[in-house]
Amino acid sequence: MDLWIVSMALFVVSSLLGGLNYISTILNLRTKGMSMTRLPLTIWAMFFTAVLGVLSFPVLLSGLILLLFDRNLGTSFYLSDIVVNGEILPNEGGSAILFQHLFWFLGHPEVYIILLPAMGMVSEILSVNSRKPIFGYMAMLGSLFAITILAFLVWAHHMFVTGLNPFLGSIFVLLTLLIAVPSAIKVFNWLTTLWRGNIRFTPATLFAIGFVSLFISGGLTGIFLGNSTIDIHLHDTMFVVAHFHIVMGVASFFGMFAGVYHWFPKMFGRYLNSTLGYIHFWVTMIGSYLIFWPMHYQGLAGIPRRYLDKRGWVSFNDFPELDKMITIVSIIVFAMQLMFVFNFIYSIFKGRKVTSTNPWGANTLEWTTPIRPGHGNWPGEIPEVHRWPYDYSKDGREFIPQTEPIGENESKH
């Protein structure tokens, strides 16, 4: 446990340094012409992710240091009236809720640290593959910003039943439900980006669309759980498990997969195998819903999470067949991920070779580098940027890279 705390501290330090690097690079070291509103949404998302990390991890660090003291130096920050094996510990005056506060002050931003990069990549991939400019670029930025701010204000919605003050809880409910607004804006923008586009259903596109679907289903149950009164019934049930696995686990994994399928040609100069990719997508997509959808019903029926064996309780043992089905499906889905790993490693060496520098016809800068970029990414001068990254299907042209100067009679986007 102490080693775990120390390793977490090291992790905090490393993520802090990484985050600082992202922030200062994005703010300070952009290439010529790359104004903030010409940044791809992926980069914007990485920026806000770094901000979240830099500001929330230190709070966890403080919490962990206090925990380390409690465990080893006899302080009483979190401990009071604790009985272990019939013996009363000498610690008194601490508050266990305090640890929860410190933990969740990181804990909530952390889910956005996981989710925001996926959102950014999905925005980019959807725009590239539906051959349409992203719908509402500024709204996307605004909602990212709003999510970042709100992420810091809502941490105690994980603590409604810990003995948290109910009045404070009600403020946290309000702030939590506010997150639905920027989230809904993002979903709306993704859907309208897809709307009437020339969609190319590459595995990356499919995973991006899958992300949107999962984000909607997982996000909606978040609104349920954000209410402190409903939480009295639903806390610590399978409903919670279903909610956060869909929205934070599977959805961010989908974003990641989309990113990997999309940028694999950039990374290794070869394509991932698409057939395996399609199989990977469909099985994972259907499998995830089969695993987590039924859990909502279990949770509503009051079945708690974290139980190894429910047979001892009649009321918990209402769905043995469902549990069995979930187990089987999760084994299959897991096997699919192994297949993806195989595809990944196989394609690095044996995949179909990329022949052009810009296989997806994308506008962003990374596709202007050579197929195998060397140190410094570009040989010679770094490129200058003249436009935003989403000029797709404009003036009769399918795509216009960011490096291309704005033409004389070009229409505005």
Partner 1 sequence: MSTQATTVHQTKWWSGGKSPFNMEYGKLMMWYFLMSDAFTFGAFLISYGSIRFSQNFWPDPNVVFNAFPGAGHANLPLAFVSVMTFILIISSVTMVLAVHAGHKGDKQGVIKWMIWTIIGGLAFLGCQAWEWHHLITGEHAVLVDGKIEMIGQNMRGNPWGAVVNGPEVTAALTNTSHETLMSLMHSANASVSHEKIAAMSDAELRAALSTAELHVREKGPVAFGGYFYGITGFHGFHVFSGVIINIVMLIMTQKNVFQNKGHYLMIEKAGLYWHFVDLVWVFVFLCFYLI
Partner 2 sequence: MEHPAFEEVSFHHHTDDAEFKRRVKKTTILLSVITIIELAIGLFIYTLHKSDVNRDFLILGFKGLVCILTLAKAYYIVSVFMHLGDEIRNMIMTIVVPLMLFIWFIFAFIYEGNSYKNLRNTYDLHFKETTMPKKHGNAETHEVKPAEKSGKE
Return the residues of window 105-144 that contact partner 2 according to CB under 8 A: 105
Picked from Cu ion, partner 2, partner 1, none, the partner binding residue 108 (CB below 5 to 8 A depending on kind) is Cu ion
382 CB-near residues (< 8 Å, 6+ apart): 31, 32, 376
The Cα–Cα gap between 239 and 121 comes to 28
Compare residues 36 and 171 and give the one whose CB is closer to partner 1. Answer: 36
Considering only 52, 61, 125, 247, the residue that binds partner 1 (CB under 8 A) is 61
> Token digits for 318?
């209402």
| Residue 9 binds to partner 1 (criterion: CB under 8 A) | no
Cα torsion for 405, 408, 410, 413, to the nearest 10°?
60
Measured CA to CA in angstroms, residue 410 lies from 119, 130, 396 at distances of: 30, 22, 11
| C-alpha distance from residue 98 to each of 7, 59, 105, 107, 401 (Å) | 22, 12, 11, 14, 51
Out of partner 1, partner 2, Cu ion, none, what residue 91 binds, judged by CB under 5 to 8 A for its kind, is partner 1
**14 touches partner 1 by CB under 8 A:** no
Residue 27 in the binding site for partner 2 (CB under 8 A)? yes
Rounded least distance, CB 118 to partner 2, Å: 23
299 binds partner 1 (CB under 8 A): no
- CA–CA separation, 231 and 237 (whole Å): 10
Residue 16: contacted member of partner 2, partner 1, Cu ion, none (CB under 5 to 8 Å, by partner type): partner 1
Binding-site member from 38, 108, 266, 280 for Cu ion (CB under 5 A)? 108
Residue (74 or 320) nearer to partner 1, CB: 74
* Cβ neighbours around 210 below 10 Å, total: 24
Nearer to partner 2 among residue 149 and residue 199 (C-beta): 149
Query: Residue 309: which region, alpha, beta or left (left: phi > 0; alpha: psi -120 to 50)?
Result: beta
- Under the binding rule (CB under 8 A), the answer on residue 7 touching partner 1 is no
Cβ neighbours for 138, distance < 8 A, ≥ 6 positions apart: 37
Position 95 contacts partner 2 (CB under 8 A)? yes
Please report where in the chains the tokens 């009236």 appear, as a residue: 81
Q: How far, in Å, CA of 161 to CA of 61, rounded?
A: 24
Question: Taking the complex as a whole, how short is the minimal distance between the CB of residue 57 and partner 1, in angstroms?
Answer: 7
CA dihedral 284, 285, 288, 294 (to 10 degrees): -140
Residue 81 binding target from partner 1, Cu ion, partner 2, none, CB below 5 to 8 Å by type: partner 2
Exposure class string for 143-156: b at 16+ Cβ within 10 A, else e = bbebbbebbbbbbb
Q: How far apart are CA 295 and CA 297, in angstroms?
A: 5
Site for partner 2 in 157-216 (CB under 8 A): 163-165, 167-168, 171
Q: How far is the CB of 84 from Cu ion (least distance, A)?
A: 31
**Which positions lie near partner 2, rule CB under 8 A?**
27-29, 51, 55, 81, 93, 95, 97-98, 101, 105, 149, 152-153, 156, 163-165, 167-168, 171
**Which positions lie near partner 1, rule CB under 8 A?**
16, 19-21, 23-25, 27-36, 54-59, 61-63, 65-66, 69, 73-77, 90-95, 98, 101-102, 105, 376, 381-382, 385
**Which positions lie near Cu ion, rule CB under 5 A?**
108
